[in-house]
């Protein structure tokens, strides 16, 4: 079986390739960064049991088996004036930014300590908080990724151009996934963690920096990505 040769009419423009490929930052880079740094900082900086951190990191992956088909169904059947996929890409990207920040802003003030005076009780509270934020974060990743992946298949019928799209997404996502050690190093700088703080304190402000990049990116993806065959609904 031979594939049709790519022509200028079927070739994806570089602007579309860049916009689509950079979307790999969420499902590849941030998806893995969140899991790695939660386990690392939760144990090293917060003193939470590595076993229980491992348990709460598994639960969101199991939740994916439920959320993935739900989001896929909603996106496939969506009819909006902006298309089927792009609204999910925008909403998902913005929610990822919000929940990536909230993962690290674990309440630890005196009022919280008063409710959980023992170290064991406070660690249990931290685990529950992290679990809830991770479930929301990974759900947001699903809201973004399932329609984004479908959009990549719909942008072109050309086999080679689809390969270019998903190769760009994989390359950019994995490239930024390699920033995990650098984010940990940034969180350890005093400018982020403050005097007497630890990496978990620093990650609060590093996450704000990440969100500050992700929010305009989400708007760019929504505005620039095209849905072939889409007819605007008034």
Please give the pLDDT value at position 131.
96
Rounded average pLDDT over 83-88: 94
Rounded average pLDDT over 70-94: 95
Pick 234 or 208 by higher pLDDT. 208
Q: How many CB atoms lie within 10 A of CB 55?
A: 12
pLDDT value at 194 more than 80:
yes
Alpha helices in the chain (DSSP H): 14-21, 31-44, 50-76, 86-104, 110-115, 119-154, 159-177, 180-187, 190-193, 199-224
Q: What is the pLDDT of residues 146-173, one digit of tens each?
A: 999 999 999 998 999 999 999 999 999 9
Please give the pLDDT value at position 2.
52
| 8 Å CB contact between 127 and 52 | yes
Please give the pLDDT value at position 120.
87
Q: What is the CATH number of domain 15-224?
A: 1.20.1250.20
For the entire predicted model, the pTM comes to: 0.90
Q: What is the pLDDT of residues 91-135, one digit of tens each?
A: 999 999 999 999 999 888 777 878 888 888 898 999 999 999 999
pLDDT value at 234 more than 50:
no
- Of the candidates 99, 172, 180, 177, the one whose C-alpha atom is nearest the C-alpha of residue 138 is 99
pLDDT value at 229 more than 80:
no
pLDDT value at 1 more than 50:
no
């Amino acid at each position: 079986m031979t594939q049709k040769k790519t022509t200028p009419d079927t070739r994806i423009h570089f602007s579309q390739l860049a916009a689509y490929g950079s979307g790999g930052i969420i499902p590849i880079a941030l998806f893995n960064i969140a899991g790695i740094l939660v386990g690392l900082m939760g144990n090293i900086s917060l003193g939470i049991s590595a076993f229980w951190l491992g348990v709460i990191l598994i639960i969101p992956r199991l939740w994916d088996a439920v959320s993935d088909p739900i989001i896929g169904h909603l996106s496939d059947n969506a009819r909006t004036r902006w298309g089927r996929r792009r609204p999910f890409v925008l909403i998902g990207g913005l929610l990822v930014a919000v929940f990536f920040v909230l993962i690290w802003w674990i309440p630890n003030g005196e009022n919280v300590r008063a409710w959980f005076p023992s170290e064991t009780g406070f660690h249990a509270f931290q685990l529950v908080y992290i679990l809830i934020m991770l479930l929301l974060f990974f759900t947001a990743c699903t809201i973004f990724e399932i329609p984004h992946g479908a959009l990549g298949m719909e942008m072109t019928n050309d086999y080679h151009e689809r390969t270019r799209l998903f190769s760009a997404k994989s390359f950019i996502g994995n490239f930024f996934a390699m920033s995990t050690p650098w984010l940990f190093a940034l969180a350890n700088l005093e400018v982020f963690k403050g005097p007497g703080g630890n990496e978990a304190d620093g990650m609060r402000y590093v996450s704000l920096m990440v969100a500050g990049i992700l929010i305009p990116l989400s708007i760019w993806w929504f505005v620039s990505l095209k849905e072939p065959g889409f007819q605007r609904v008034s």
